[in-house]
Structure 1
Amino acid sequence: MRLQEFWGQLRDQFGDVRGEAIARDHVFSAFDGRTAVGAIENGVPVRTVWLAICEEFDVPAQAR
């Protein structure tokens, strides 16, 4: 998954404002207390971050 796809999926699933907030403000225990953006900046694969968001926010399997 590319970063552009990641942002597109976030917008599609959560809307512009909420998707942005989830990525930049929500702290994930899966990333040792980092945000999704922080995890990506620290080298966590984008797909891994997307799947963690899906798990945390109960995104349906067909949207993952």
Structure 2
Amino acid sequence: MRVRLTDFWTRLEQTFGPAYAGSIAADQVLTQLGGRTIEQAFAEGESTLVVWRAVCAAYPDRVPAQLR
């Protein structure tokens, strides 16, 4: 499975809503990303697939099954 960056942001917005998705990306530190935020992980070169899987693991009740 491959997740393009544009697909990642679309999925994040579908999961949390357009306004809250940006806050999740900038402010929420995910243990699944080694204590980094989504933005930090991308800035350090992490793949979109790894980041998306971390989001799914961190928010299992929020991410719809069809987006996993």
TM-score of the alignment, normalized to the shorter chain, above 0.5: yes
Which one has a larger percent helix, Structure 1 or Structure 2? 1
Root-mean-square deviation (CA), in Å?
1.2
Q: Following TM superposition, by how much is the alpha carbon of 1:32 offset from its aligned partner in structure 2, in angstroms?
A: 2.1
Higher RCO (C-alpha 8 Å, min separation 6) = 2
Q: When the two structures are superposed, what TM-score results if normalisation uses the length of structure 1?
A: 0.86
- Structure 1: runs of 5 or more not aligned: none
How many percent of aligned residue pairs carry the same amino acid? 39
TM-score, normalised by the number of residues in structure 2: 0.82
Which structure shows the higher strand fraction? 1
User: Structure 1 runs of 4+ off > 4 angstroms?
Assistant: none
| Cα displacement (A) at 1:15 | 0.3
